[in-house]
Amino acid sequence: MSAKTQTLREPLLHVDMLAPLVVDETTPYSAVLQRMRELNRGSVMVCRRETVTGVFTERDYLYEHCLEGVAGDTPIGKLMSTPPVTVKVKTALGEAIELMHGKKFRNLPIVDDKDRPHGLLTVGAIIRYLAEKFPAEVMNQPPTFQVTKDAEGA
């Protein structure tokens, strides 16, 4: 088995992921947005009694709630995406990458065996992990050129 195949089979436990930003379902919408801004996070895991019940992302804000005039005191539980798409800490890296690519996610919540928040897998974390595992392959990539028939600035 090649080193690349072996790496894609490694569990997510080996990837250095972000600590999750976790809020309760009753947390006001305005407080969630403020925390996301303060911590520069693109998503939060929404929980009820320590169990992840939903996810709220910057895309939810931009595409669904930004222009609707949602009241700041609205509980985030009414705005979150459910059911949450999560993976377990034992999930293989390759499986997580396929899921993120297929669903066009930039963040993937990681939960333990009891569906409690464990971490947040990001595209950046995956890139850093692979770059550390295969530094020569990453650093020695040839440049890619894009040729277009369209006039520049048109």
Q: What is the largest CA-CA distance in the chain?
A: 57
Nearest of 43, 23, 153 to residue 103 by alpha carbon: 43
- Span 45-96, pLDDT tens digits: 999 999 999 999 988 888 776 657 788 999 999 999 999 999 999 999 999 9
pTM over 0.85: no
Domains of the chain and CATH, by start = 3-131 (3.10.580.10)
Q: Mean pLDDT for the chain?
A: 87
Nearest of 4, 39, 3, 2 to residue 23 by alpha carbon: 39
